Amino acid sequence: MDSRIDFYPTHEHSGYKLRPGKPYPFGASLVPGGINFSIFSRHATSCTLVLFEKHASKPLVEIPFPHSFRIGNVYSMVVFDLDCENIEYGYRMDGPNDPANGHRFDNSKILLDPYAKAIGGRDIWGKTPDWNEVFQYRGRLVFEDFDWEDDHALETPIEDLVIYEAHVRSFTRHPSSKVKFPGTYAALVEKIPYLKQLGINCIELMPVYEFDEFENSRPNPSTGEMLYNYWGYSTVGFFAPKSGYAATGKFGMQVDELKNMVKHLHKNGIEVMLDVVFNHTAEGNEKGPTISFRGVDNSTYYMLTPEGYYFNFSGCGNTLNCNNPIVRNMVLDCLRYWASEYHIDGFRFDLAAILGRDPRGAPLPNPPLLETLAFDPVLGKCKLIAEAWDAGGLNMLGSFPAYGRWAEWNGKFRDHVRKFLRGDKGMVGKMGQRVQGSPDLYDRNGRGPTASINFVTCHDGFTLYDLFSYNGKHNEVNCENNRDGSNDNFSWNCGHEGDSESSEVRWLRHKLVKNAAVLLIISQGVPMMLMGDEIGRTQKGNNNTYCHDSDLNWMDWSLVEKNTDLLRFFRNMIAFRRAHPVLRSPTHFQNRDYVGSGVADITWHGVQKWNADWSNESRILAFMLDGRHAKGGAAKDNTIYVAVNSYWESLSFSLPDPPSGKKWHLFANTGVEYPGDICIPGMEIPLQNQNDFLVGPRSAIILLAR
């Protein structure tokens, strides 16, 4: 190394040895003998590197980039002989402070590098920051030397996934979790056996990019409880993991701890998907703090009105300018980094419709960012999932530009299943589409059922148990006069609002939770469930718990015992799905027989076999999946019959004949108390009566031909 002259300093400042840096890659990179610092700004007039010792209040040194170190719009410099373990860095940018023209430069601010790979300043969750500190979010260097052994992304076919949406802290923070380091990546590793037993094979983590839980934090005036930016849908740094989620965050080892978690999950066959928030940042609107992008190059990074204010398509104050080529490249660099350095299997894009808007906010017919991500070689095997709407009213459900890659959170599945299960009329025809993987939305442009991420609940809204315990939201403790959170919950309280001592009410709620599990798991597409729904987790009727670091969000592990019937039902349903390829078709049903079995791939029934009731008053859905058509005829499977009675009285269903030589066996019947409600897959019980089945009120059955 020493023989290479390009690693020798050519300049000096205050005793620090320098040489012109490489413009790429952006960020701070280790190079022999030093660190290469590189940052973009189109409109800055000068830039200064500010170095700190770790945790120090005052800078160690400020090194202006010599004029000759700028190439185009990139400032780059190598600083030699720095102690990488002990350095934190930021920038000062000079330039016009002219908001009307989009510029908000302020050289009194020390700015976080948009490409910082680790961020200090919020090392320990909930530790009140010193707001007088001039440098709040402090860029740090990371070593990319983690020992991955042979680990790599699992590349599970998307139709085979069962996704579990979870919040890192909430999953293990409750004292009942009994883990060594509650609320951390390390604690999640301790709970992998639980996830494996449940049977899920993908965990989708709510944001783990560095955010500030103290953003807009405030005490509840009535209770004094501190309200936080708890969920983390407000990014400070896109390349850095949330330090407060790492037990080792105080040692600056959050990168290693998160990677270790991914490695362990992979070893157990569980993919890791990240919920990424590229629609806005933590800087808010013009009244928000200057952390990074606003001071680096405001008019590049944000969508601005002609008057220089922030467009607010995110509902969070600002909108990242994702289809600006600079920002687009940052998003791409970021996802490539997480896919390659953290072995992440897929990404779910929060309010992704924003990513399809042009810099003035108009929807683009062919959004370059979405196309770029779809065709990127590094992301070539990653799952890409869109929340296909935004807070600005753009809803692209079914029309999100897919390029053969993108799947969507299917909001219609959520709403229709909820309405059908609570007994709304006029839902049967819609449910016919939902259980097929929503061909009405996706059977075009080559999109199959796997474009549909099916869910009944997610972090936004009621938990599954609350869906059947509350008619309305109860968000008073959010201190927003119960105005926040959706009003369109399509929920039903089963006759009593909230907790009930009535065994009848509890029985009904458990039955409806199981019915939801049946429809979610049995439908074509990709099922996603919310953390804790398998054990009846409640948020006490709060449908927007974004600000609570409390048991409103924390998973209460004592429910594993209390609601053991629900847990067993979910486990067996998931095992059933994984055992039967006919439930996991990569292509849409054709509603015809194309393998010569004598029956169509899917057939529709009612209380009379072969006679589905699609009428407005109907509240029953019954269908048969022909096992000989599994995976388009490529796999052989059992034939499965499903009947869901959302009517409030029992109904007798005449059963279609099973394939020749087979008999109907009962796998699940939610109208029966635990433990008769569900079997272990493979141990289904033969029916005495092969012709008719009395399905209880608001109950579902699953039969299997064997």
Partner 1 sequence: MALNISMDVNNGVAKIVLEGEVDASVSDKFKEAVEKAARQKPNRLVMFMDKLTFMASAGLRILIFAKQKMGADVNIYVIGASGPVLNTLKMSGFDRSVYVQASYVD
| Minimum separation from the CB atom of position 151 to partner 1 (A) | 10
**Angle ∠(384,389,395) on CA atoms, nearest 5:** 125
Residue with tokens 């399905």: 695
Distance between CA atoms of residues 480 and 38, nearest Å: 42
Token readout for 530 is 């919310």
Q: Is 387 in the site for partner 1 (CB under 8 A)?
A: no
| Minimum separation from the CB atom of position 271 to partner 1 (A) | 18
Q: Is 149 in the site for partner 1 (CB under 8 A)?
A: yes
Distance between CA atoms of residues 471 and 244, nearest Å: 36
Containing 171, the helix (H) or strand (E) segment is helix 168-173
| Minimum separation from the CB atom of position 267 to partner 1 (A) | 9
Residue with tokens 């309200």: 227
| Minimum separation from the CB atom of position 127 to partner 1 (A) | 18
Q: Which stretch binds partner 1 (CB under 8 A): 126-134, 258-266, 521-529, 555-563?
A: 258-266
Distance between CA atoms of residues 646 and 234, nearest Å: 40
- From the list 83, 488, 501, 617, which residue makes contact with partner 1 (rule: CB under 8 A)? 83
**Structural Rg of the chain based on CA atoms:** 27
Residue 350 is a catalytic residue:
yes
Q: Which stretch binds partner 1 (CB under 8 A): 213-221, 256-264, 294-302, 311-319?
A: 256-264
Closer by beta carbon to partner 1, 118 or else 679:
118
- From the list 46, 48, 73, 86, which residue makes contact with partner 1 (rule: CB under 8 A)? 86
Q: Which stretch binds partner 1 (CB under 8 A): 180-188, 456-464, 603-611, 654-662?
A: 180-188
CB 304 within 8 A of CB 313: no
Distance between CA atoms of residues 159 and 584, nearest Å: 5
Q: Which stretch binds partner 1 (CB under 8 A): 145-153, 409-417, 514-522, 622-630?
A: 145-153
Q: Is 467 in the site for partner 1 (CB under 8 A)?
A: no
Number of other CB atoms surrounding residue 636 within 10 Å: 12
**Angle ∠(58,60,62) on CA atoms, nearest 5:** 100
| CA distances in angstroms from 393 to 284, 362, 483, listed in the order given | 19, 11, 18
Site residues for partner 1, window 261-300 (CB under 8 A)?
263-264
Handedness of CA 584, 587, 591, 592 (dihedral sign): negative
Q: Is 251 in the site for partner 1 (CB under 8 A)?
A: yes
| Minimum separation from the CB atom of position 148 to partner 1 (A) | 9
Q: Which stretch binds partner 1 (CB under 8 A): 13-21, 126-134, 178-186, 676-684?
A: 178-186
Q: In 3D, which of 1, 90, 73, 83 has the Cα closest to residue 37?
A: 90
Q: Is 647 in the site for partner 1 (CB under 8 A)?
A: no
Q: Of the listed 387, 460, 565, 637, which one is catalytic?
A: 387
Residue 390 is a catalytic residue:
no
| Minimum separation from the CB atom of position 253 to partner 1 (A) | 5
User: Cα-flanking dihedrals φ and ψ of residue 560, to 5°?
Assistant: -60, -40
Closer by beta carbon to partner 1, 266 or else 357:
266
What is the Cα 534 distance to its own chain's centre? 18
Residue with tokens 């949406």: 165
Site map 498..517 versus partner 1, x via CB under 8 A: --------------------
Q: Is 192 in the site for partner 1 (CB under 8 A)?
A: no
Instruction: Using DSSP bridges, classify how beta strands 620-625 and 640-645 pair: parallel, antiparallel or unpaired.
Output: antiparallel
Distance between CA atoms of residues 112 and 52, nearest Å: 12
Q: Is 150 in the site for partner 1 (CB under 8 A)?
A: no
CB 535 within 8 A of CB 576: no
CB 556 within 8 A of CB 174: yes
- From the list 186, 304, 494, 512, which residue makes contact with partner 1 (rule: CB under 8 A)? 186
Containing 81, the helix (H) or strand (E) segment is none
- From the list 147, 488, 501, 649, which residue makes contact with partner 1 (rule: CB under 8 A)? 147
Containing 518, the helix (H) or strand (E) segment is helix 503-522
Q: Of the listed 257, 297, 345, 350, which one is catalytic?
A: 350
Q: Is 81 in the site for partner 1 (CB under 8 A)?
A: no
Counting residues that bind partner 1 (by CB under 8 A) gives: 25
Q: Is 145 in the site for partner 1 (CB under 8 A)?
A: yes
Closer by beta carbon to partner 1, 179 or else 531:
179
Closer by beta carbon to partner 1, 228 or else 239:
239
| Minimum separation from the CB atom of position 59 to partner 1 (A) | 18
Q: Is 2 in the site for partner 1 (CB under 8 A)?
A: no
- From the list 12, 85, 133, 673, which residue makes contact with partner 1 (rule: CB under 8 A)? 85
Closer by beta carbon to partner 1, 180 or else 360:
180
- From the list 247, 330, 382, 583, which residue makes contact with partner 1 (rule: CB under 8 A)? 247
Distance between CA atoms of residues 34 and 55, nearest Å: 21
Distance between CA atoms of residues 180 and 184, nearest Å: 9
Percent helix / strand / coil, the chain, rounded to 5:
25, 25, 50
Give me the residues paired with residue 31 across strands. Answer: 34
Q: Is 604 in the site for partner 1 (CB under 8 A)?
A: no
Q: Is 257 in the site for partner 1 (CB under 8 A)?
A: yes
Q: Is 246 in the site for partner 1 (CB under 8 A)?
A: yes
Distance between CA atoms of residues 668 and 674, nearest Å: 11
- From the list 59, 183, 252, 627, which residue makes contact with partner 1 (rule: CB under 8 A)? 252
Token readout for 193 is 């056996």
Dihedral-angle region of residue 473 (phi above 0 means left; psi in -120 to 50 means alpha; beta otherwise)? beta
Q: Is 253 in the site for partner 1 (CB under 8 A)?
A: yes
- From the list 260, 324, 450, 669, which residue makes contact with partner 1 (rule: CB under 8 A)? 260
Closer by beta carbon to partner 1, 254 or else 572:
254
For every residue of 391-444, DSSP letters joined together read TTS-B-TTTS--TTTEEEE-HHHHHHHHHHHHT-SS-HHHHHHHTTT-HHHHSS
Q: Which stretch binds partner 1 (CB under 8 A): 140-148, 421-429, 654-662, 671-679?
A: 140-148
Q: Is 327 in the site for partner 1 (CB under 8 A)?
A: no
Contacts with partner 1, residue ranges (CB under 8 A): 83, 85-86, 143, 145-147, 149, 180-181, 184-186, 246-248, 251-253, 256-257, 259-260, 263-264
Q: Please list the active-site residues.
A: 350, 387
